[in-house]
Structure formats: structure tokens, C-alpha cells
Structure 1
Amino acid sequence: MSTHVQKPGWFTVKIFNQAVGWLTGRGISIWGSRVLAVRGRKSGEWRTTPVNLLTVNGEQYLLAPRGHVQWTHNMRAAGGGELRLGKNVDVFTATEVADDDKVELLRAYLKRWKAEVGVFFKGVGPDSPEADLRRIAPDHPVFRIAVTK
């Protein structure tokens, strides 16, 4: 498994994520934003972060543009969590998508959010050849979401 991680800078942590989280927490979704809540794999306490919820062919996915970050490790351990938008809370289970099955999902994610996250994909964009998307697939965990409540 890849260990690729791109840690967010000060602006992202202190300004951007706080602003998106604040708006999303009040029910205002920015292009599909949600607040992901997942139990910490060591502490068992809820951890939250803003995420972009991707829908492809009627299925919902969470994709980690920054790579194998803390929420992805926690998701693997917990097997699910909550997606929050204002007072609406969707409890879900998560199944990790195999690298070979990520090409269409990476392409769709980049079509929607390249302006926001494109810098994390090593020059690969929505119109890149399939081989390039396959090359970066191990660096970007993807989870299929199944809402249970």
C-alpha cells in the first residue's frame, strides 16, 4: 500500500477547512461538502473533517485527495462513520475500493473538484490517459459509502 500523504498547510487548516466546516455544519453544502465524522482508531473519540461527497452512477464515495491521511486510517479501522450536513446526519458503512476500480472515480472527482484539489494529483487531470489515473490510484484511498440510517 502507498504511504503517500500531503499534509495541509496553515491556510487550509486554519481558514479554508474551518470555513467549509462552519458552513457545512449549518446546512450549507459547498459543491457536495459534508463533515465526515469517524471514530479515532486509537482514542475511539469522534474526529471530524470536511470532505467532498462524490456520486457516480447512483453510488456515493469519499476520495482522499491528500492521500493516506488520518481519516482514511480511521475509516479502515471503524468501517464507517457519519456524514453531516447541518442537522442531517447520515450513518454509513464504508468499503474501500480496489486500485483497479478507481479510474472512473478519480476522473469524476477531478472533473468536479480539480480547481480545488488538482495540485494533489501529480499533474493528472480529468482528461489524462487511463494509464496516468491508474498510476496515481494507490496514492488516493476511495471508500464506497452505504447509508444505513
Structure 2
Amino acid sequence: MTAAHVIRPDWLTRRVINPAVAWLARHGIAVAGSRELAVRGRKSGEWRRTPVNPLAYRGERYLVAPRGHVQWTHNMRAAGGGELHKGGHVERFTASELRDDEKPEILRAYLKKWSWEVGAFFKGLSAKSTDAELLAAAHKYPVFRITALPPADEGAYRSSTSEG
């Protein structure tokens, strides 16, 4: 079995860029639609936060992990959902991971919208890549379809993810 694809952030990203984007999102300012993702840690149960770029595509919404199989993706699989924060607005959602064969058109749309920010993580790929090229790399990039929870269902999500 091969090791999971992970691109670790450098010092500048980890200490300056991600905290700045997250701070802006917490204060209601979205950088090109970014949000702060909050998801329960699979081991600690504590909320973990990171900036993300949600993608709206053909009436659905997605979270793509351009850095690969990073901690938030493992936590998302375990938790089955999370929260997107922008200012005082919190959107709770459930998440289901896409199979690799479902990813090419989502990856293409993501690259079309966000390549200026995340293109370096998709070595050799672009929005103009063929389906075959995107499918060959799909295993490297987790993609989650997210579904907002209506206010009546938020309590069910909270209780399923709460400690105790």
C-alpha cells in the first residue's frame, strides 16, 4: 500500500496566511468565498478549524482537499459533517465523500475557480486537463459533497458530534 498523498503547508502558510484567512472569515470577510471549516477531531473530539474554499457546482456544494489526505479530511470522514463559519453565520452540514470516478468534473470546476490559489498543489493538472488525467490523480484529492442541515436538524448533528 502506498502512503497517502499529503502536501504539508510551509511556515508562512501555517503561521501567517491560513490564520489571516481564518481570522477574516471569522470576522465576516470571505476571501473569494473562503470559509473557516470547523470539524470535530476524530481522537480528541475537540473542534479543529482550517480555512477552506467551498465550491458550488451544478446545484451541489463541495469541499476539495488540494493538499491531499490532511487532518481535516480524516476528521471529516470520522465526523460525517462539520460547520462552515463566516462572521457570526454558522452553517452546519453533513458530508459524504465522493468516489474517485465521481471527482474529475468537480476537480475541473475547482481548478477553474481556485487555480490562482491552489494550482501549485495539483502538479501538472489544470481546468483544461482531460477526464483521464483528472481521474488518474483523483485518489490524491479527497472531495466531499456537503449538505446544509436545516435548523430543525442541527440539534441532531450537534448531539451526534458532541463529547460524552
Report if TM-score (shorter chain) is over 0.5. yes
Q: What residue number does 1:42 align with?
A: 43
Aligned letter for 1:115?
Answer: W
Aligned letter for 1:113?
Answer: W
Residue 130 of structure 1, CA deviation: 1.3
TM-score scaled to structure 2, two decimals?
0.89
What residue ranges of structure 1 are gaps of 5+ in the alignment? none
**May I ask how many residue pairs the two structures share in their alignment?**
149
Distance 1:42 1:16, change over 3 A: same
Q: Could you say what the CA RMSD is over the residues aligned between the two structures, in angstroms?
A: 1.1
Q: What residue number does 2:79 align with?
A: 78
TM-score scaled to structure 1, two decimals?
0.97
Residue 2 of structure 1, CA deviation: 6.4
Residue 3 of structure 1, CA deviation: 0.6
For the pair shown, the structure with the greater C-alpha radius of gyration is 2
- Structure with more of its chain in strand, by fraction: 1
Q: What residue number does 1:22 align with?
A: 23
What residue ranges of structure 2 are gaps of 5+ in the alignment? 152-164
Q: What residue number does 1:111 align with?
A: 112
Give the ranges of 4+ consecutive aligned residues of structure 1 lying more than 3 Å apart after TM superposition.
Answer: none
Residue 131 of structure 1, CA deviation: 1.0
Q: Deviations over 1:79-98 (max 9, x none)?
A: 00100010000010000011
CA–CA distance in structure 1, aligned partners of residues 136 and 17 of structure 2? 29
CA–CA distance in structure 2, aligned partners of residues 76 and 103 of structure 1? 20
CA–CA distance in structure 1, aligned partners of residues 98 and 139 of structure 2? 10
